Chain A
Amino acid sequence: MTCTSLDGCYFLESNMPKQPQHDNCDCKKLQISVSFVKTKAFSECSIEKFLGYVFTDDEKSKGKKSLFESWGYTKENAYELQKEYQNQALKEYLNGNYILKDLDRNGQRLAIGINLKGNSFYAGWMVDVEGKIRNTTPFGGWINEKI
């Protein structure tokens, strides 16, 4: 059941996965306050998403290394990028500015807009329990493109 991967996850009521997810689904939606979510929510973007993926080589990152380098970033900027991703994504998540993407046994994915030096694009995130969102992929398509 994919709904079990939503257990303990926080969403804005106006932008949440459909409920019920399936016949005889016994999941319950619990109301929690925005102020509570703000005290709990945090975003995590592993530094390895940059050091072990984006800035390795283009065979692995498939064009992302070249793209980030064209914006003036190198692996020396990995920690700066990590912080920027975490800050921007958390702010957008708390404001409900995310697109619900696939939901399956691995969890609910979100596309959240990131802006780096005037370049706007989506990054992929996974919703974990108790307000945590975790970066899955640093680049998930251009904003204004169908995703």
Chain B
Amino acid sequence: MLEIADVTVTYGAVRALERVSLTVPSGTVTAVIGANGAGKSTLMRTIAGLVKPASGSVALSGVGITSLRPEDIVRAGVVLVPEGRSTIPELTVEENLDLGGLWRDKAARKTSKAEALDLFPILADRRRSRADTLSGGERQQLAIARALMCAPTCLMLDEPSLGLAPLIVTQILELVRRLSVDANLAVLLVEQNAVTALRVATHGVVLNLGRVVMEGPAEHIAAHDELRHAYLGY
């Protein structure tokens, strides 16, 4: 379970996040939705340790991780798949995959790799190709597979649907939902595409200008017309 309590992040005079609190229980998908500039990516990057909050705290299963370095937060079990299909184009598919969880012992990595390749069979077929020869959807799968190699207890996905065909987005998100249940993962999903995100999510959180303006079961939020008009613009 990931707990974010009263997190405030400032960039100079700008408050990107204002006392944001939310809880991501294990075995569920929590979708953070909101318009561009609502602070969604900042929230993810703060949890991942890439941005340090001015105040507030982040804890995983009761253990504080706020002051850890990004690489130690990963090792603690909180893994971010950043926006933009973050594979390394100069490396092969297999090298990109192997990069995840290099600190773990060999046997554990081997098991994780077999599981990841089982989950994303296309990666097994392409393992010797350079990552930049993959399609957008395949690269997103590779990025998620690499995150799984780190044996996360909390998985964060920043805009996984960006630039992908709707059918592929549905497949990937459905897989993430299944993963959250099967592996008891706490999944935090940031999306601009609210409809798709709320379809797979258990809980929804709406961010606007750095504040949580609403949270609750995903279907409530999806059915909330005024909220949609006010904050999501559709």
Q: Do A and B bind each other?
A: no
Residues of A within 8 A of B (CB): none
